[in-house]
């Protein structure tokens, strides 16, 4: 039942903003996304390699090495050469496949619902970053079952309670 409700809500949300999705103004709070610099629909975010460092702008790349290079370049410009490709604000990487496979996203924001970045019910594995702690929830706004992560932890797969069931995520 919850999946149907989420699907219907996501469809209604998509239909209400679809014509303006690529042109939404982040200054007005609308999430926008790009793939290698070209605008894409929000619904495509979870199919690529992305980061949310410029939220509400989500930057995605067709190839994982391009994301790594972009993150390294941005980090190096702030910290000097040799810096890692992870921003200090990142607290988790979420993956669409088990064993850190498939598309993924570096997460630095809290999300009451992952629908806004197309990651609702998509997460199959994760890695926490920067010694940060956080919590995944199976429902919106910190409800449902929760899964805490901390300090460099990771999971190559999730139990059936959480596999493709995560709907919100927060830094602890």
What would the pLDDT profile of 126-160 be if each residue is shown by its tens digit? 999 999 999 999 999 999 999 999 999 999 999 99
Going by pLDDT thresholds of 50, 70 and 90, the confidence category of residue 80 is low
Give this prediction's pTM: 0.80
Q: What local confidence, expressed as pLDDT, does residue 79 receive?
A: 56
Say which residue the tokens 């290698």 belong to: 36
Helix (H/G/I), strand (E/B), else coil: 116: helix
Query: What rounded mean pLDDT belongs to the chain?
Result: 84
Question: Can you give the CATH number for the domain in which 36 is found?
Answer: 2.60.20.10
The mean per-residue pLDDT over the stretch 81-110 comes to 86
CA 154, distance to chain mean position in Å, is: 16
Number of domains in the chain: 1
Q: What local confidence, expressed as pLDDT, does residue 73 receive?
A: 85
105 has a pLDDT exceeding 60: yes
Q: How far is CA 22 from CA 30, 92, 94, 129, 134, in A?
A: 10, 26, 23, 30, 30
Phi and psi, residue 81, nearest 5°: -60, 150
In this predicted model, which residue has the larger pLDDT, 4 or 37?
37
Class of residue 83 by CB neighbours under 10 A (exposed 0-12, middle 13-18, buried 19+): middle
The mean per-residue pLDDT over the stretch 79-106 comes to 82
72 has a pLDDT exceeding 80: yes
Q: What local confidence, expressed as pLDDT, does residue 9 receive?
A: 44
Please give the DSSP secondary-structure letter assigned to residue 111: B
C-alpha span between 122 and 172 (Å, rounded): 21
Structural domain for 99, as ranges: 2-171
Q: What local confidence, expressed as pLDDT, does residue 171 receive?
A: 96
**Residue 50's beta-bridge partner residues?**
60, 105
**C-beta separation of 114 from 46 below 8 A:** no
Q: What local confidence, expressed as pLDDT, does residue 77 receive?
A: 61
Going by pLDDT thresholds of 50, 70 and 90, the confidence category of residue 89 is confident
**C-beta separation of 49 from 104 below 8 A:** yes
25 has a pLDDT exceeding 50: no
Nearest to 45 by CA among 111, 110, 96, 112: 96
- How many helices (H) and strands (E) in the chain? 2, 11
């Amino acid at each position: 039942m919850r999946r149907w409700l989420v699907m219907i809500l996501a469809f209604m949300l998509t239909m209400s903003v679809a014509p303006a999705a690529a042109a939404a103004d982040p200054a007005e709070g609308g999430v926008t996304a790009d793939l290698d610099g070209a605008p894409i629909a929000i619904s495509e975010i979870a199919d690529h390699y992305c980061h949310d460092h410029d939220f509400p702008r989500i930057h995605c790349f067709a190839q994982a090495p391009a994301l790594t290079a972009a993150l390294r370049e941005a980090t190096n410009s702030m910290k000097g050469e040799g810096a890692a490709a992870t921003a200090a604000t990142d607290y988790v990487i979420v993956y669409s496949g088990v064993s850190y496979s498939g598309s993924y996203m570096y997460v630095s924001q809290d999300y009451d619902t992952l629908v806004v970045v197309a990651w609702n019910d998509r997460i199959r594995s994760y890695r926490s970053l920067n010694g940060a702690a956080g919590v995944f929830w199976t429902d919106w706004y910190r409800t449902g079952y929760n899964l805490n992560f901390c300090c460099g932890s990771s999971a190559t797969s999730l139990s059936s309670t959480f596999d493709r069931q995560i709907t919100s995520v927060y830094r602890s």
